[in-house]
Amino acid sequence: MRLLPVAPRPFGDELLTSWQCRVACRYSSTPPQIEVWLGRPPTPMRASFRARDFQPDEDMTWRWARASRLNERDLQRLALCDLERPEDCYVTNPLDRGVCPVCLDADAEKGGDHYCRRNWAHVEAAVCEE
């Protein structure tokens, strides 16, 4: 089993791809490149909202969890399908999603990583709840 010695912990309200990008950044890599390294065909970043954030493959989630020494369930709960909202209640293209600069600045002030919140992907998210 391959291990990622430096892997940040996911935040409770974080989008799964946000966490994967934060991990991959530690290795000057991308999530698809990490997935190849973990022994699986990569899932493309843009073309696969369903496979990445909505209902990720269980084996791939297991590989990410094991490599990062996380509980698989803690990663699986970041999947949007766990929120019991249908897939069409989300903005699937990350380029069409809003982000909140106030929250991102607050992340930096706390000395942590910027990260994307799951509720920013909701179609009705016009302004940040914070």
Q: In the complex, which residues of this chain contact Zn ion (CB under 5 A)? A: 100, 102-103, 128, 130
Residue 127 DSSP code: S
Based on CB atoms, which residue is closest to Zn ion, 83 or 103?
103
Based on CB atoms, which residue is closest to Zn ion, 125 or 128?
128
3-state SS class at 122: strand
Based on CB atoms, which residue is closest to Zn ion, 12 or 44?
12
Task: Report the alpha-carbon distance of residue 34 to residue 29 in Å, rounded.
Answer: 7
Q: How far is the CB of 120 from Zn ion (least distance, A)?
A: 8
Tally the residues of the chain.
130
Q: How far is the CB of 104 from Zn ion (least distance, A)?
A: 8
Q: How far is the CB of 101 from Zn ion (least distance, A)?
A: 8
Across 99-109, b (16+ Cβ under 10 Å) vs e yields: ebeebbeeeee
